[in-house]
Amino acid sequence: MKLLEERILTDGRLLPGGVLKIDSFLNHQLDPLLLQEMAKEVKRLFDGEGVTKIFTIEASGIALAILVGLEFQCPVLFAKKSKTKNISDDLYQTEIPSFTHGGTNTVVVSRDYLNASDRVLLVDDFLATGAALVGLKTLVEQAGATLVGAVTAVEKRFQGGGDKLREQGVRVEALARITEMDDNGIKFG
Ligand code: 5GP
């Protein structure tokens, strides 16, 4: 998506460890008009797939997910990072290693909001190693729901997560695909 790529080139900052900072429009301050255009593109990509639920993880996936939910006119659900590791009958639960902070988060979602009749579209801001989306996929599987696909604002292709998910048979779409990013700049493809 040209608009997003241009914005990344103008506003993005590279941090050590393969992290792209786009705090001015996606990860801290939010640009609702850009997010709305991104959500329309997601709708175009997954139109006709019978999506009944948008599923993301707190916190930074939520903004885009809400706008995508508006496009599909369906509820938006986010997995919560839980402080306890206690297994509860009311929850689906999995562990997700954190790309940006290190360590592992226990993430949970209520059984009330994800069920076997759902056709789920996963939404997140970044796809790096794929751990976050694989974790969400695990929760979808625990619920017996159907995974329609996954969409990320930015896929950092050189970190391999997108291909890992595609090898597992998941349809993965990215609004911007970064093939290289270093001191020489950011390349899309
Ligand atoms: P993964 O689980 O695919 O390795 O990483 C995805 C998660 O880590 C996303 O939910 C996102 O919050 C965070 N993340 C991964 N790479 C980046 C990055 O380059 N910049 C920012 N801001 N977040 C990232």
* 166-175: average pLDDT: 98
In CATH, what number is assigned to the domain containing residue 170?
3.40.50.2020
Q: Note the pLDDT of residue 27.
A: 96
Rounded CA separation 12/53 (Å): 30
Among 95, 125, 134, 159, the mutation site with the greatest number of ligand 1 atoms within 8 A of its Cβ is 125
What pTM value is reported for the model?
0.97
How confident is the model over 74-114, as pLDDT tens digits?
Answer: 999 999 999 887 778 899 999 999 988 889 999 999 999 99
Distance CA 93, CA 86 (A): 10
Q: Are 151 and 133 in contact (CB under 8 A)?
A: no
SS3 content of the chain, % helix, strand, coil (to 5): 35, 35, 30
- The answer to whether the CB of 78 is under 6 A from ligand 1 is no
> Are β-strands 185-188 and 172-182 bridged in parallel, bridged antiparallel, or unpaired?
antiparallel
* pLDDT 10s digits, 31-56: 999 999 999 999 999 999 999 999 99
Taking each helix axis as running N to C, give the angle between helix 62-72 and helix 32-46, from 0 to 180 degrees, rounded to the nearest 10: 50
* Any ligand 1 atom below 6 A from CB of 161: yes
Task: Please report the pLDDT score of residue 100 as a whole number.
Answer: 83
Does residue 129 carry a pLDDT above 90?
yes
pLDDT (tens digit per residue) in 130-170: 999 999 999 999 999 999 999 999 999 999 999 999 999 99
Q: In the chain, how many domains are there? A: 1
Ligand 1 close to Cβ of residue 135 (< 6 A): no
| Amino acid making up residue 15 | L
pLDDT of residue 84: 80
For residue 159, the ligand 1 atom closest to its alpha carbon is 4
| Candidate of 25, 30, 100, 123 to mutate for ligand 1, largest count of ligand atoms within 8 Å of Cβ | 100
Nearest-atom number in ligand 1 for the CA of 15 is 19
Q: Residue 48, class by beta-carbon neighbours within 10 Å (0-12 exposed, 13-18 middle, 19+ buried)? A: exposed
* Residue 68, pLDDT score: 98
Predicted confidence (pLDDT) at residue 64 exceeds the cutoff of 90: yes
Ligand 1 mean position to 127 CA, how many Å?
Answer: 6
Residue 88 pLDDT: 81
- For residue 154, what pLDDT is reported? 98
**Which residues span the domain enclosing 24?**
2-188
181 lines ligand 1 (CB under 6 A): no
